[in-house]
Structure 1
Amino acid sequence: MSAPQDRRDLRGSWGTAEIAAPWPDKARLAVSFVVNVEEGAELSIGDGDEGNESMYEIREEVMKGADLCMESHFAYGPRRGYDRIVSAFKAYGVRATFSTCGRAARRLPWLMQDAVSVGHEISCHGWRWERHAGMTPEAEARIIADTHSTITEVSGQAPVGWHTRSAPSELTRQLLLDHGGFLYDSDCYDDDQPRIERISGKDHVILPYAFDTNDMRFSPGGGFVQPEDFSRYVAGAFDRLYEEGGHGARMLSVGLHLRLIGRPGRISGLEALLAHMSARPGVWFASRAEIARCWKDVAS
């Protein structure tokens, strides 16, 4: 009796021949820094939302009215954190992807335009900072369209990438293809290598993301306290993937947030990590759009 087709692929490329690293200049490893721009898009009763955001540096009971304290915490990212992060990237010639919520882009036009002017990519991260699981197809399609058009208008750069906060719906990927203009999404956490899926007759690139190599672990209970916690852990992942990159294609995603790694007590962790990575030859620091285009060219 044959087993039914499983909707989940738990095998991936295991047991098949490794794909040689396709990165430019024979690089061993592609490194993708993703800066999540969510400030101004977090849930806020003060903005007319149904509730307030509860995830930040401390755990408190969610307020029933406008939470000016939480709004102030989020405001730190664009006011101070952004400049520290882009300065660190500039020092090491790193191009990053700024994964941006549509409402944040609307509030932060200067940040979007500055990031583009120095060579960074702007991608889509939903309209508000929220999960899409459970949304109606009509509501989700509107969010995708509004986010894409707003970022295009504000930044002057049409986004080609998408990443949902944690949980997409079962239709998110199809809706991205229906909208058009999207080259890739990062709504998966299951590999260290990109892949292409054929959806409705179109090739769509999947770029895995990661929560472990991510400054979100500075949040309560996440395991990072000192800046060295971040730099040592991510450097360990980098070293391992760099080694594996000698016999197969690998990419490393490093997730950052303006309001987290941009703090004065943490930014040295990013600076130390960049120094560690830059000391190795054959490392390609690239935007996610660049990685997706490279992978699609090789696959086709």
Structure 2
Amino acid sequence: MTSIPSETYWPEGKRSAAVVSVIFDDGLDAISEAPDLAHRSKSLSVWQYGATRGVERLCNTFAAFGVPTSWFVPGVVAQKHERLMRDVLSGGHELESHGWSFERYDELAPAASVELLRRSSEAIGTITSRPTTGFRLATGNWPRNFDQLLVQAGYSWSASLNGDDLPYSHCSGLVEIPVHIELEDRPYFQFNFTPAFPKGLSRIPSYEAVLGNWISEFDAYRQYGLCYVIQLRPEWTGTPGRIAIVEELLRHISGFDDVWLATAADVAGWHRQKGAKTPIDHPINVYDAYVNEEQAGER
């Protein structure tokens, strides 16, 4: 398996890397689970709070710490909130694709997937005036050979899968920057009574406990020279109280001069430049080998 990187893996002798990412769906994630929310203003407003207050509050915090971030936005949301997205861009952040409208690519034909991926890229590119290179899967499973469809649609990296804590490359050359659920805000803070999001109505945890989790993970990632990726959503951590968690996390990360605080695109570009090969026993290769073996046995 992938070994712990040497001290020369990251640029300028940095010990590890950290990426601050933001996922801005403007309620599409909720509507995909409960379509009737589109006509229920009270419940939907829980998610729309991100556009109303959360985006601005996150951007102000990032500016205070001088942190560049990576935003993943569906194409329809980028079009709807173009002025807001231009404000994000003017703050030195990057805009990348979160699909077109929260579709499930594991339920689409390859041609339809490529068409929607290109449509999202073009919508975001209209705002950024540059090619859209990054992608994060919004929902559903990662279809087999989906990396090839992303490359066909013009993307060069993804931040969608788990499977590791260092960047790796798919067979197509698409760079993958692994993400992990414990470094998201939604599992801790998403809460709505009707419909029950999350199911079972688990209670919102202590803010100090969440911050402790995120800092503990960062300290371990730094210790082992890995790539730490925090995933925030303006409707959940863009509130007056929870923004303090983000501030404390950024203060902690910024206190180490041996950590490369970079955008996801920068990390993907660095990995590609290093030309590191993905080991044959890496999960991404093991899965393909397993499927190939199963298909061979059926013939």
* Same fold at TM > 0.5: yes
- What TM-score do you get using the length of structure 1 for normalisation? 0.81
Percent of pairs with identical residues: 25
Q: For residue 70 of structure 1, what is the aligned residue in structure 2?
A: 43
CA positional deviation for 1:266: 1.2
**Displacement after TM superposition at 1:204 (Å):** 2.0
Q: What corresponds to 2:116 in structure 1? A: 143
From the superposition, tell whether residues 241 and 65 of structure 1 become closer, same or farther in structure 2 (CA, over 3 Å). closer
AA at the equivalent of 1:112: M
AA of the residue aligned to 2:220:
R
User: TM-score, structure 2 length as denominator?
Assistant: 0.82
Residues 257-297 of structure 1: CA deviation (Å, up to 9, x unaligned)? 01010112211111111111111221111110000111111
| 2:147–2:170 CA contact under 8 A, matched in 1 | no
- 1:26-41 matches, within 5 Å, as 26-39=13-26, 41=28
Matched, 1:168 2:142: yes
Superposed displacement of residue 84, structure 1: 1.2
Following TM superposition, the consecutive aligned residue runs of length 4 or more in structure 1 with deviations greater than 4 angstroms are 16-21, 220-224
Between 93-102 and 66-75, the greater mean CA deviation after superposition: 66-75
1:121 shift after superposition: 0.9
Change (3 A) 1:259 1:193: same
- Please, which runs of 5 or more residues in structure 1 have no aligned partner? 1-11, 45-51, 55-61
Q: Which runs of 5+ in 2 are unaligned?
A: 191-197, 277-299
Provide the aligned C-alpha RMSD in A. 2.1
Please give the alpha-carbon distance, in whole angstroms, between the structure 2 residues aligned to 1:90 and 1:126.
27
* Superposition deviation, residue 93 in structure 1: 1.2
Is residue 41–residue 103 contact of structure 1 (8 Å, CA) maintained in 2? no
1:254-273 correspondence to structure 2 within 5 Å: 254-273=230-249
CA contact (8 A) 2:68 2:263 kept: yes
Structure (1 or 2) with the greater helix fraction = 2
1:154 aligns with 2:127: yes
Count of aligned pairs between the two proteins? 265
- SS of 1:94's equivalent in the other structure is coil
Match of 1:240 in 2: 220
1:130 shift after superposition: 3.7
Equivalent pair of 2:4/2:224 in contact (CA under 8 Å)? no
What is aligned with 2:268?
292
Which residue is 1:48 aligned to?
none
